[in-house]
Chain A
Amino acid sequence: MNTLIAISGLGVLCLLFEILNFRKAIVPATILGLLAVLGLTYTEFNTPASYYNNMIVVSKFSSVFSALFIVLTVFLIALAHDVYEDHQTKISDFIAIKIFMLAGAVAMVSFGNLAMFFLGIEVLSISLYILAASNRLNVKSNEAGMKYFLMGSFASGIILFGICFIYGAMGSFDVTEITEWSRSAELPIWFPIGISLVTIGMFFKIAAVPFHFWAPDVYEGSPTLTTTTMSTLVKVVAIATLYKLLTAMNADLSAAYINIIIVISIASMTVGNIMALQQNNVKRMLAYSGISHAGFMLMTLLSIKNSVSSLLYYTTAYSLSGIAAFAVILYVCKNKNNEDIVNFNGLGKNNPLMAAVLTASLLSMAGIPIFAGFFAKMFLFNQVIDAGYLVVVIAAVINSIISVGYYFKLILAMYNKEPNEEATKTPFVFYAVAIISILLNIAIGLFPSAVLDLLG
């Protein structure tokens, strides 16, 4: 709870900085503030509690995932200074919106009441609509914002509809009460309908096939930093929330429900990967790759009772490598008007360090040892095979092979092509963010227990 309050306070403070004309200090000050909040989250880790009539429930799950979100936000905000150098007058707005978005994210994993859950999802989404359209003189950015808003509000509507059904069946918004009721034998038909609707809405948010159509356009059109946010932080938030919802509402998923998850998971992996193979724009490619990773993460729902550690591990590994990759993309495409693969030609010669970081993060996403992405997939496969779904694992492995095709397209461009132009100077923060996140990725690859045992 303290985390949530502190984050909201920090957001307000960011807005005040603008009035007080502290624009220069805003990035470092916010980062320091977030690190302090991270410390606060740490203190909450061992003291589960509930606040305000069970509106907010702080548990190990919520504090660990909140900590992950805060770390990701720190990276995102560190990148903001150089990205928004042309818009210095608005920087406090951008940063404040990101902080509010973080508040929404934290609310989404620590809700104890469905109303709070919906509030969180709306705070997160509305911040994102603004960020997607934030490059207001660019048609593509406007298009992205509009598309995202239409699709997103549609999904929110479905979620709300589902929540109503659940309320109709259970007579309560309180998650603990719903959990208790859902164990009883006779469940009204409204209850599974409600859960299905909420799940569909969340599938929209995590961009799982067949609810993924918005993702590539929105990713491509949005400013790159917003794309970074969507493909790392938001995806992780959505999947963690879906996991929490499903564990809370019906501990034993019915067979039909499991079959649907299997189909959607395999479809997301396959469609995402096959579409990614054909992309020439890096952001679109990573959007599709994100869709396929969503398919992987959905596999955790197949053994929902004990897969929380592997979910945490997968999301951490995926988002850290995503941040590293996008830091390099931001650097390469800084003064370009598109993000085509051609721009990466010869990066291995121009800037070997950045090329190495991007290579490492792509290898991690492809699941090559010793990067964390490999262990993430391995733990996941382990869990799913234990639960008895060998077919899904085989589909996932075939998809891992396909994914190598497009990740390597980028690697080949960096090392096997001649550079188009002279090397440009890299701002320090890009280096710092890229290297720190990829080192963190490798570190949790070498010491997986550090992450796995948190929720073990």
Chain B
Amino acid sequence: MDVTTLLIILLVGAFATYFSGDKWAPKVALLVGLTAFASALCLLSQYNLGNEISYNQLWISKPKIYLAFQADGLALAMLLLTTALTPIIIFSSFGNTYKNSKAFYALIVFMSFAMSGTFLASDGLLYYIFWELALIPIYFIALIWGNGDAEERKKSVVKFFIYTLAGSLFMLIAFVYLQSKAGSFLISDLTKLNLSSTEQFWIFMAFFLAYAIKIPLIPFHTWQAKVYQKAPTVGTMLLSGIMLKMGLYSVIRWQLPIAPLAAKEYMYVFIGLGIAGVIYGSIVALRQKDLKKLLAYSSLAHVGLIAAGAYTLTLDGLRGSVLQMIAHGFVVVGLFFVAEIIYRRYETRKIAEMGGIRAQSPKFTSMFMLLVLASVALPSTFNFVGEFTVLYSLSQVNIWFAILGGTTIILGAYYMLKMFQHVMLGETNAKLFADVTFNEGLTLVIIIAVLFFFGLYPKPIMDLITPSLENILTQINRFN
């Protein structure tokens, strides 16, 4: 068994979901998601046993393009994140009904396929294809099943699409240029190139445009809040939980090893951009009146820190950012799900119209509280492990970065707890709030369990990712 099995399961699953009809589509999609997760676990165990799970075959002879999938620890970790979150996201949507649900769920599964491919591909062009493919389903999910006024939604979704496409096309030029130097798109060839520092600078910038828009980093973030708000919650979860991790992952996998000189030379600029995102996102989040928008800006702050960690070019920085990617993926899905649960009962996302939920639904309150605590990186949660490692690596570069980046914890705690207070506490709300159903509870419990388990015992993930990060680090330092 190699990694293509998993991709085939997801691709075939997407079609199976579509053809199973509106009634069965959610269940089939869930089944496909779970099968994919199981096969990802299978791959993991094979990898740990030392078996070959990569796949490599010539696809197009001129120019040389390979169907090359390489699963190292880092890719596997991201693959596990994707395949674990996909069934959770699908399951979380069971309380809603969508018209034309066969297409809806098929798109979700297809997107999961494209994102898994992005994490696994080790040929630049193949990677680019998956990268772009992931964009099409989310475009339609947000456009057709989103909420709010159709005209306004259209505007924000099209902006998102054109932004991300524009960024990635420059990445395509960079890849084509690299290919003309190296003779193939394989990452193993690209990281061997001896590029001059000017070339590296331009290539780095072309990649940066693609990733900074996707992640998003300041000042390329303007698409984000609107799209998160307008997309259906499932779409928001896919975007924030997995898709923006594609950008962060690609920084570590492609950008840094291919153009390390530029990364070193302008390190302060890029770390600075990340930190600026942290502070900007936190301050703007403070003032949000819409729950989903608040979460969007908090997400902006968190990913800023993750990117800053990656751009430190230290092992701790890379490791911290990968850990934080996974942790953030789970916590953000959980938080958006909480927003959705409230929306199902109160049909509003305005924080001012909530409040006084605590007394009516103790179970929901405690789960929400745990998620908020995880999000602000309370010790013993997974997020603490990630965030602390990143801050530590920043302090090694420059103590001021760590101090400024550390505001994420203080400001984060402030706006998240304030939000919690306004949403949940206060006098008991006149409107009835039913406590979580079994399905909703199960979803939240799974997410919380993951966050706390790895918060207390992060070693398995550390062990999984560290060797591949060390490899990447040697590639980054090959010019010294």
Q: Does A29 sit at the interface, judged by CB under 8 A?
A: no
- Give, as a whole number of angstroms, the nearest-CB distance from A269 to chain B: 14
- Contact indicator per residue, chain A 394-405, by CB within 8 Å of chain B (1) or not (0): 100100110011
CB neighbours (8 Å) of B133 from chain A are: 369-370
Q: Does B3 sit at the interface, judged by CB under 8 A?
A: no
Closest to A445 in B: B129
Q: Does B38 sit at the interface, judged by CB under 8 A?
A: no
Q: Does B254 sit at the interface, judged by CB under 8 A?
A: no
Q: Report yes or no: B143 in contact with A404, Cβ–Cβ below 8 A.
A: no
Q: How far is the CA of A452 from the CA of B36 in the complex (A)?
A: 35
Q: Report yes or no: B161 in contact with A378, Cβ–Cβ below 8 A.
A: no
Q: Does A456 sit at the interface, judged by CB under 8 A?
A: yes
Q: Which of A374, A378, A400 has the most CB of B within 10 A?
A: A378
Classify the interface of chain A: helix, strand, loop or mixed: helix
Q: Which of B136, B173, B176, B180 has the most CB of A within 10 A?
A: B176
Q: Does A453 sit at the interface, judged by CB under 8 A?
A: yes
The stretch among B164-172, B274-282, B398-406, B448-456 that forms the contact with chain A is B164-172
Q: Report yes or no: B173 in contact with A381, Cβ–Cβ below 8 A.
A: yes
Q: How far is the CA of A449 from the CA of B153 in the complex (A)?
A: 40
Q: Report yes or no: A369 in contact with B176, Cβ–Cβ below 8 A.
A: no
- Give, as a whole number of angstroms, the nearest-CB distance from B110 to chain A: 12
Q: Does B370 sit at the interface, judged by CB under 8 A?
A: no
Q: Report yes or no: B63 in contact with A412, Cβ–Cβ below 8 A.
A: no
Closest to B58 in A: A449
Question: Which residues from 390 to 436 on chain A have a C-beta closer than 8 Å to any C-beta of chain B?
Answer: 390, 393-394, 397, 400-401, 404-405, 408, 412, 415-417
CB neighbours (8 Å) of A401 from chain B are: 162, 165-166, 169
Tally A residues with Cβ within 8 Å of B. 32
Q: Does A118 sit at the interface, judged by CB under 8 A?
A: no
Q: Report yes or no: B154 in contact with A412, Cβ–Cβ below 8 A.
A: yes
Q: How far is the CA of A381 from the CA of B180 in the complex (A)?
A: 10
Q: Report yes or no: A397 in contact with B63, Cβ–Cβ below 8 A.
A: no
Question: Which residues from 373 to 391 on chain A have a C-beta closer than 8 Å to any C-beta of chain B?
Answer: 374, 378-379, 381-382, 385-386, 390
- Give, as a whole number of angstroms, the nearest-CB distance from A256 to chain B: 25
Contact of A416 with B161 at beta-carbon distance under 8 Å, contacts A385-B177, A393-B176, A397-B170 already known: no
- Give, as a whole number of angstroms, the nearest-CB distance from B176 to chain A: 5
CB neighbours (8 Å) of A416 from chain B are: 143-144, 150, 153-154
Q: How far is the CA of A363 from the CA of B129 in the complex (A)?
A: 13
Q: Does B195 sit at the interface, judged by CB under 8 A?
A: no
Q: Does A368 sit at the interface, judged by CB under 8 A?
A: yes
Q: How far is the CA of A82 from the CA of B161 in the complex (A)?
A: 37
Q: How far is the CA of A54 from the CA of B370 in the complex (A)?
A: 84
CB neighbours (8 Å) of B60 from chain A are: 448-449, 452
Q: Report yes or no: B165 in contact with A404, Cβ–Cβ below 8 A.
A: yes
Q: Which of A309, A363, A385, A397 contacts B180 (CB 8 A)?
A: A385
- Give, as a whole number of angstroms, the nearest-CB distance from B284 to chain A: 28
Q: Report yes or no: B180 in contact with A386, Cβ–Cβ below 8 A.
A: yes
CB neighbours (8 Å) of A415 from chain B are: 140, 143-144
CB neighbours (8 Å) of A369 from chain B are: 128-129, 132-133
Q: Report yes or no: B158 in contact with A378, Cβ–Cβ below 8 A.
A: no
Q: How far is the CA of A348 from the CA of B176 in the complex (A)?
A: 36
Contact of A378 with B176 at beta-carbon distance under 8 Å, contacts A369-B133, A401-B162, A404-B162 already known: yes
Q: Does B125 sit at the interface, judged by CB under 8 A?
A: yes
Q: Does B179 sit at the interface, judged by CB under 8 A?
A: yes
Closest to B129 in A: A369
Q: How far is the CA of A12 from the CA of B99 in the complex (A)?
A: 54
- Give, as a whole number of angstroms, the nearest-CB distance from A396 to chain B: 9
Q: Does B61 sit at the interface, judged by CB under 8 A?
A: yes
Q: Report yes or no: A382 in contact with B180, Cβ–Cβ below 8 A.
A: yes
Closest to A368 in B: B132
Question: Which residues from 190 to 221 on chain B have a C-beta closer than 8 Å to any C-beta of chain A?
Answer: none
- Contact indicator per residue, chain B 115-144, by CB within 8 Å of chain A (1) or not (0): 000000000010011001101100010011
Contact of A449 with B61 at beta-carbon distance under 8 Å, contacts A382-B179, A400-B169, A415-B143 already known: yes
Q: How far is the CA of A408 from the CA of B179 in the complex (A)?
A: 31
Q: Which of B61, B63, B128 contacts A453 (CB 8 A)?
A: B61
Q: Does B287 sit at the interface, judged by CB under 8 A?
A: no
Q: Does B23 sit at the interface, judged by CB under 8 A?
A: no
Q: Report yes or no: B143 in contact with A412, Cβ–Cβ below 8 A.
A: yes
Q: Which of A368, A390, A408 contacts B158 (CB 8 A)?
A: A408
Q: Does B459 sit at the interface, judged by CB under 8 A?
A: no
Q: Which of B136, B162, B166, B172 contacts A378 (CB 8 A)?
A: B172
CB neighbours (8 Å) of B125 from chain A are: 378
Q: Report yes or no: B136 in contact with A363, Cβ–Cβ below 8 A.
A: yes
Closest to B144 in A: A415
Q: How far is the CA of A397 from the CA of B169 in the complex (A)?
A: 6
Q: How far is the CA of A13 from the CA of B180 in the complex (A)?
A: 52
- Give, as a whole number of angstroms, the nearest-CB distance from A24 to chain B: 37
Q: How far is the CA of A401 from the CA of B164 in the complex (A)?
A: 10
Closest to B170 in A: A397
- Contact indicator per residue, chain A 343-387, by CB within 8 Å of chain B (1) or not (0): 000001000100000000001000011100010001101100110
Closest to B153 in A: A416
- Give, as a whole number of angstroms, the nearest-CB distance from A395 to chain B: 11
CB neighbours (8 Å) of A448 from chain B are: 60
Q: How far is the CA of A452 from the CA of B59 in the complex (A)?
A: 12
CB neighbours (8 Å) of B162 from chain A are: 401, 404-405, 408
- B-binding residues in A (CB < 8 A): 309, 348, 352, 363, 368-370, 374, 378-379, 381-382, 385-386, 390, 393-394, 397, 400-401, 404-405, 408, 412, 415-417, 448-449, 452-453, 456
Could you write out 7 A-B pairs with CB less than 8 Å apart?
A: A368-B136, A368-B165, A369-B132, A382-B176, A405-B162, A408-B158, A452-B60
- A-binding residues in B (CB < 8 A): 59-63, 103, 125, 128-129, 132-133, 135-136, 140, 143-144, 150, 153-154, 158, 161-162, 165-166, 169-170, 172-173, 176-177, 179-180
Q: Top 3 nearest A-B pairs by Cβ distance?
A: A369-B129, A401-B166, A397-B169
